[in-house]
Structure 1
C-alpha cells in the first residue's frame, strides 16, 4: 500500500512539474508559470539550447501593444535560444491592461519577475539576464531596467522616443500618406483630432515620457535598433532621442543601430507596410527576420555576457518622410467646449419647436439639422482614425477619405442654409418679433462660430 501511495505521489509530482520537450529544431522548450506584477499568474515558455556552455546569459522578451500571445515572438525566441541565450517568452497579462488602460509599471514588474525566474534556473548566469523590448516594450523594458538591479542589459527594437499619443499620431499620418490621403486631412488628424483625443483623457498612457527613464540608465548596456523602413514609430527622431538621452546619462555602452530592409518589428519588408515570408499570425504574415537582425542582437548579448560590452556608437539614421507633430498635453477645455457650444446653439431651434413657441421657419430648421450633423460628423470622422486605425478612411477619393468629402459637403450646406435663413427672415419681416429672435439667435450665432471652427478643423481645406 505504501509503495502504491509513493508511486501515485511521484506521478502527481511529474504531472505538476513544468513540461519540457525538444522540438525538431533541437531546442528544449519548458512551459512555466510565474507571478508578475500584483501577483498575477503568467504563463510562458523557456527555450534553451541543449549542450550550450554555461553559465549562459538569459533574456526575457517583452512584447508590443495588444494581446501579445507568445507565439507572435517565436522567431526571436528561437534565434536567441539557438545562440545559447536562455529565453523566456510569455503571454501578456490581461488584467490591468486593455485597449483603454495601459500600466507600463505593471508590465515592467512582469518583466522583472520573468528575469528573476531565469536567474533561478540552473545553467543561467544570474548576473547576465536582460530584456528585449519590442515597440511598446521599448518603453517597458528600459522602465524595468531603471527600477531593478536584476536587469543586466536591454535590447529594443522599434522603441519610440516620444510619448504614446505623439507616436500614434505619427503612425497614423504615415499610414494615411501611404494610402494616398492628402496633407490637409493628415493635418486634421495630427492637429485638432489628436488634441480632442488628448482632451478626453481616454488615450492610454498618452503622456508617458520615456526621456527621464532613458536618462536614468547610467550603467545598463543598451542596444537600440529600428527597422530602416519603420512605419509605426519615427525611427530617425527616436534614435536621436535615445542617443542624446543615454549620452546625457553617461552611459558608455549604448549602441544605436538600424536593421537593413527591416520593418517596425525588424522583419523583412519592401517598404515598411508589407511583410515578406515568415509564419502567419492571425492570418497575416509576420515576415521572416531581416538579414543580420538576429545576428546583431545575439552577438551583442554574448559580448555583454562575456564582460566586453561594446562601446557607445550610433549609426546614421534612414530618411524620414514625415516629421512628428507635438500634441499639447492636458485637458484643453476649448477643444471640447467649442463643439459642445455649437451643438447647443444648433439644437436650440428644434427644441423650441417642440415647445411650440413662435412660427417655424423651414430654412432655419434646415440650418439647425445640418449644423448638428456637420459638427458631429467633423469630430467623429477624424477621431475615428484613432479608434479604428487607417482603415477608417477607406475609400480615398481625390486625396481625401470619402466620408470627409461628405463632411465638407455638410459644412458648405451649413453656410448656404445660414444665408438662406437670413434672407428668409428679412423677406418675411420677422426681425421685430421677439419670439423669432429668441429662437433664431442661438442658431445664427452657432452658424457664425461654425465657420472659423470648421476652418481650424481643416474642413475648409
Structure 2
C-alpha cells in the first residue's frame, strides 16, 4: 500500500476572494516519495461531497498548469487535489505508468481522509498521459469512485506520439514522404532500440477491467496530439466489452487537446500563460460538462453509457509493427560495412582506392544522417524539421543529397575497380567486400527509410 501521510505546510487554510479555500499539502506517493500539492474546496460547504484528484499530462507537470480545471471543480463543490508531478523516477527517457498510478492513488487516499469529502466519492481526472494513468489507477483500486479523462489516448504511446508528430508536420507544410518516414521506420527504430519509454503500453486491457467504474471520456474536437476519432472508438468499444453501463464518450466544441479554447487545435485562445505560452481558457461548457457529470455520479445517478458523434481526423494513425529488431540492426550493419574500409587502411590490408574511400566516408555520413534527422523530430519536436523547403525539412534534403552521392560514389568505384583490374586475393576481398555489401544494402534501406521519395 502507498502511504498518504499528510503534512500541512500552511499554518491554516483560509478562503480567498474567489470563495475557495486553498490548503497546501505534502503526501507520500509511490516509493514513499514526497509530493507537494494544493487542496481546493468551496468556502462554507456544510455536507461532505465528492472529491477529485487531477493527474497531469507528460512532462514535469507543475500544478499551475491545471489551475483552471482545479478551480472549476472546486467552484462546483468538488474538493480538488492538484499536485506537482514527480521528477524522481520520471524523465524523457524513463516513464513508469505504474509508479504514476501509485501517486494518483495516494492522492485519492489523501482526499478520502480530508474533511468535507465523502470517502466513497473520490475520483480521478486524467489529461493526455494521465488518460493512461488514471484508468490504470482505477483498475487497481476500488477506492476510485469514477474516472474523467480529457485527451486520453486509445493507442500505445509510440503510435500516439507518431500521430502527434505527423499531424504537426503536416501543419508546418511537410509532405507525406517525410511524415511516413517519421511514423514508419523511425518509430520502428525507436521501438527496436528501446529509447521510447513505455512505447508498447496497451491501454485496452486496463479499460476492459473498468467494469463498474463510471467513466467520462472527453476529447477536444480539434485535438492535434492524440487521434480523437480513433481514441474515442477504442474507449467506447473497450468499455462496452467490459460491460460498463456508465461510460460516456463526448467531445468538447472548439476544444484543443487540453479542452481549452482553440481555433484549429494548434493555437490557444485566452487563458493564463504557462512557461511563456498561452494555455487557453476553458472551452465553453467544458467545465460544466465535467462538473455536472461528477455531481450526478456523486448523487448516485451516474449517466448511462452514450457516445457523441466523433469529429473527423485529417490523418489516420499508423500502427508500429511489433517485431522490429531489424530496424535497429540494419543501420548498425551498414555502419560496420562502410567503416571496415578505413579501418583496414589503418591495418594496411589490401589496396587503397580513392573512389572507394569516398564511398566509405559518404556511406557512413549518409547512414548517420538518415537516422538522426527524423529521430531529432522525436527528441526535440517538430521544430527540428524547420525550415521546410519543397515540402521537406531542409536537413532531409541534405540527407537525400548524401544518398545520391553514395550511389554515384558506388558507381564510380565499380568503374575504377574494373579499370584497375586487381588480382583477386584474400586481402582484396577482405578490404572491398564489406564496403561493397554495405553499398548494395544501402539502396533498399534508403528506399525503406523514404530517402528516395
TM-score tier, shorter chain, comes to over 0.9
State the match for 1:267 in structure 2. 260
Unaligned runs of 5+ residues in structure 1 are 1-13
State the match for 1:460 in structure 2. 452
Query: Does 2:136 match 1:143?
Result: yes
Change beyond 3 A, Cα 1:334–1:151: same
Equivalent residue for 2:203, pick from 210, 218, 233: 210
Deviation at 1:376, TM superposition (A): 0.7
Assess if the C-alpha contact under 8 Å between 2:220 and 2:256 holds in 1.
yes
Assess if the C-alpha contact under 8 Å between 1:18 and 1:31 holds in 2.
no
Summarize deviations over 1:18-56 as a string: whole Å, max 9, x none.
542332212110001111111111111000111234211
Assess if the C-alpha contact under 8 Å between 1:425 and 1:431 holds in 2.
no
1:15-54 counterparts in 2 under 5 A? 19-54=12-47
- C-alpha distance in 2 between matches for 1:16 and 1:185: 51
Query: Does 2:423 match 1:428?
Result: no
Query: Does 2:170 match 1:177?
Result: yes
State the match for 1:371 in structure 2. 363
Equivalent residue for 1:439, pick from 431, 434, 445: 431
State the match for 1:307 in structure 2. 300
Unaligned runs of 5+ residues in structure 2 are 1-6
Give the TM-score, by structure 2 length: 0.96
Instruction: State the secondary structure of the residue aligned to 1:150.
Output: coil
Q: Which moved more, 1:168-177 or 1:439-448?
A: 439-448
Summarize deviations over 1:161-185 as a string: whole Å, max 9, x none.
1111111111111111111111001
TM-align CA RMSD: 1.4
State the match for 1:3 in structure 2. none
State the match for 2:383 in structure 1. 391
State the match for 2:95 in structure 1. 102
Larger Rg: 1
State the match for 1:381 in structure 2. 373
State the match for 1:285 in structure 2. 278
- C-alpha distance in 2 between matches for 1:336 and 1:115: 42
- C-alpha distance in 2 between matches for 1:58 and 1:122: 11
Instruction: State the secondary structure of the residue aligned to 1:126.
Output: strand
State the match for 1:5 in structure 2. none
Give the TM-score, by structure 1 length: 0.95
- C-alpha distance in 1 between matches for 2:332 and 2:137: 42
State the match for 1:229 in structure 2. 222
State the match for 2:4 in structure 1. none
Deviation at 1:392, TM superposition (A): 1.0
State the match for 1:167 in structure 2. 160
Deviation at 1:357, TM superposition (A): 3.0
